[in-house]
Amino acid sequence: MEEFLQQLTNGLAVGGIYALIALGYTMVYGVLRLINFAHGDLFTLGAYLGFTLLASFGLSGVIGGLAGAGLLVLMALIFVGLVGVMLERAAYRPLRNSDRLSAVVSALGASIFLQNAMMLLYGARPQVYPVRLLPTASFMLMGVEIPFTRVLLFSSSLALMFLLFWFINRTRVGAAIRAVAIDQGAAKLVGIDVNRIISLVFLIGPALGGAAGVMVGLYYGQITHDMGLNYGLKAFIAAILGGIGNIPGAMLGGLLLGVIEALGTAYFAVGWKDAFAFLVLILILIVRPTGLLGERVADKI
């Protein structure tokens, strides 16, 4: 029971991170039918931005504790979001009317560029966040000791997800994003500036990914220039699991994948940690290729 609760909470915390990153994949896919292969690297960029802010700008002396962590997340949100917008302008918009493959190659190129830029700037060796901003306390849950940071990580990603969910479903601009995802031509006919919506999606998706990067840095303390590869892949699988293009699906898929991975590692084999994600991917592709929440309502033509 203790092991189970530990792994469940751990899985939810990691799953929250997967979900945040998965949202970026799924939103971009939703409006452009494109996999943004550079998305995992934007996540890494968020982690390194947090590192730089803490280490180089002397922020570590000024800020501390929860408010400091919150500020870091906010700065990563904004900065990585803006990088996302620039990425779309530079790498994807010029190829909007070209064939699929060109965009895929451009996405891979952008990924390699970002990864190598970070390696040049920060070196190939892992970096360690210079200060532990988060409290080290823990609390008891049904007789099991749960670290406070784990709850914080999970609730922060949950809060960001709810914010996005509200924005997408309850605001005018959120409705416009959904409309562009459903039918770009029809969206143009009602007067939606589709380019602006695409820019906005490239602001929101990477912003959430960047926030996830800082959160991982704060939580684990150590970051590497290629961490986006692993997290990005897992999040991509999570997005497919939930149904690519579907926003609640990405949230569900991320949390589910985190839990499956954690429980699988605990009860079956540690060495197979990454294999579980692929096992889930293969199973979902066989059993339900549209993902858990994909194509929930068929459009009647």
- Name the residues that contact another protein, by CB under 8 A: 172, 175-176, 178-179, 182-183, 185-194, 296-301
C-beta of 35: minimal distance to another protein in Å?
Answer: 22
CB contact at 8 A, 83 and 206? yes
Q: How far is the CB of 31 from another protein (least distance, A)?
A: 14
Taking the least distance from each CB to another protein, the nearer of 132 and 188 is 188
Rounded least distance, CB 92 to another protein, Å: 18
Closer by beta carbon to another protein, 191 or else 271: 191
Determine the distance from the C-alpha atom of residue 220 to the mean position of all C-alpha atoms in its chain, rounded to a whole number: 16
By C-beta, is 17 or 198 nearer to another protein? 198
Q: Select 3 or 183, whichever has its Cβ closest to another protein.
A: 183
User: Smallest gap, in angstroms, from Cβ of residue 195 to another protein?
Assistant: 8
Shortest distance, position 301 Cβ to another protein, whole Å: 7
Q: Between β-strands 222-223 and 138-141, what pairing exists: parallel, antiparallel or unpaired?
A: unpaired
Which of 36, 102, 43 shows the shortest CA–CA distance to 76? 43
CB of 245 to another protein, least distance (A): 11
Of residues 107 and 247, the one with the C-beta less far from another protein? 247
Q: Which is nearer to another protein, 274 or 295 (CB)?
A: 295
